[in-house]
Amino acid sequence: MPTLLIRNATIVPDPANPEAACLPGYSVLVEGETISAIVPDADAPTTADEVIEAHGRLLMPGNICAHTHFYGAFARGMAIPGPPPRDFPEILRRLWWALDKALSLEDVRLSALVCLADAIRHGTTTLIDHHASPNAIDGSLSVIAEAVETAGVRACLCYEVSDRDGRDKALAGIAENVRWIRESRQRGSTRLAGTFGLHAAMTLSDATLERAVAEAQSLGVGFHIHAAEGPADQEHSLATYGERVIERLHRLGVLGPQTIVAHAITIDAWEMGLLRETDTWVTHQPRSNMNNAVGVADIPTMLRGNMRVGLGNDGFAFDMFEEMKTAYLLHKVHRLDPRVMNGYEVMRLAYTNNAALAGRFFPRPIGRVAVGAFADLILLDYAPYTPLTAGNVPWHILFGIRGSHVTHTIVGGRVLMAERQLRTLDEAAIAAEARTRAPEVWQRFETFSRYT
């Protein structure tokens, strides 16, 4: 069993726990994938298969992204033909539903690699992805899985089933979820998992949802779906079904403790109650919500009710420290109250709740530096110029730490980046290949955007 020793670190074991004292001058021993000892440097072993000298750097849990889209990497810098989209439905039709059609399986692989390199560089070690490629459905999740395996991170994958491209592709999406869930179990990897993807309530008929629910129940899994991401989803549900989005999903059996509802912005008190009563997970993506001008989810109220709420990025850059900062600021200005969404509440989203959500898919604890937990760790060269204590860690993270401070990224005891040099991926080669392929993707995108 390979061993890794990290010496002379300042350990921040759990940023969300005000009782978890910071530990300067400590060492962490990793055996295989798991942390086996956390001891003062004087008590640390003298040898290991690999030794990292931390030189007093911060050692923290790797960050977790609870909702993302690897397939969107080629959108960066891409122009949308015509005038700017005026609302979220236009953004969907003219950007995302044209881009996903433009992707081949090779584009899917490369788009994932671009995102995974960004994640490693910024200390994001576990990702829950939500994929779409309507013209390259079959096998798409295995292609992403191979990219994940190469990169060395931890990921839960699914395919977003939708009726927007016709019945045959909806059925193909269902089949891809079923195939991948079975394959992920057969692989027996501790770094890959599967759940059942659904696009959004407004692009799914009752018949398709009933078919998906039957398949998911036979496999014992939940769902990963966008819901109430702005007014359009609610308006469609009320006009078409005479009920609100969350009520409809509940009626059809989609909600539950294994299901992730991304966004949940335009929900009312009764819908929030249903999400709470069913122990359904909600993920918050503040940067995306601001960019799409779809509103602000009532995350402070959800947290007050001890709902299961995590933090994702919806495909934005994989510096989760930036997502934390945005969550901290957005709710203050929205409520006109600087007391709203305090630092520990943000840490609760990003660390406590994200780790609990990841625990639904992976077999050992993630998201804290503790004996017995997966050794998913990051080192940062953040040098605070004020005291760093258990009682002020959140504000060092929110006002001081950035993804650019990450020097080492470790997943399951494997060093994926050391001294800011990626070990598992050739970042320059990936970027060069992406620059070559992007014009072809963009050309296909322009063709599809005329008909979407």
- DSSP H stretches of helix in 220-353: 231-241, 245-251, 269-277, 286-292, 299-304, 320-335, 343-347
Q: Which helix (H) or strand (E) holds 4?
A: strand 3-11
Per the prediction, the chain carries an average pLDDT of: 96
Asked if residue 284 has pLDDT above 70, the reply is: yes
DSSP string for 333-360: HHHT-TTSS-HHHHHIIIIIIHHHHHTT
Q: Where in the chain is the domain with CATH 3.20.20.140?
A: 63-358
Domain 63-358 adopts which CATH fold?
TIM Barrel (3.20.20)
Say whether pTM exceeds 0.85.
yes
Report in angstroms the alpha-carbon separations of 311 from 28, 37, 269, 321, 385.
Answer: 27, 29, 21, 11, 28
Residues 6 or more apart from 257 whose CB is under 8 A from it? Answer: 222, 278, 279, 280, 281, 308, 360
What is the per-residue pLDDT for 250? 98
For residue 351, CA distances in Å to 140, 358, 369 come to 30, 10, 11
Main-chain phi, psi angles of 376, to 5 degrees? -100, 100
Among the residue ranges 91-105, 200-214, 244-258, 372-386, the one predicted with the least confidence is 91-105
| pLDDT over 80 at 452, yes or no | no
CA angle 43, 46, 49 (to 5 degrees): 130
pLDDT at residue number 451: 54
Q: What is the pLDDT of residue 450?
A: 65
Q: Cα-Cα-Cα-Cα dihedral of 440, 441, 444, 446, to 10°?
A: -110
Q: Residue 13 is encoded by which pair of tokens? A: 């074991």
The dihedral formed by the CA atoms of 84, 90, 93 and 97, expressed in degrees to the nearest 10: 70
pLDDT of 30 higher than 90 = yes
In the chain, CATH 2.30.40.10 covers 3-61+371-422
Q: Does domain 3-61+371-422 have CATH number 1.20.1090.10?
A: no
pLDDT digits (tens, 9 = 90+) for 66-124: 999 999 999 998 888 888 889 988 888 888 888 899 999 999 999 999 999 999 999 99
Q: What is the pLDDT of residues 174-188, one digit of tens each?
A: 999 999 999 999 999
Tell me the mean pLDDT in the region 243-272: 98
Q: How confident is the model at residue 302 (pLDDT cuts 50, 70, 90)?
A: very high
What is d(CA 413, CA 419) in angstroms, rounded to the nearest whole number?
16
Rounded Cα gap, residues 228 and 256, in angstroms: 17
Instruction: Label residue 28 by pLDDT band (50, 70, 90).
Output: very high
Report pLDDT for 447: 85
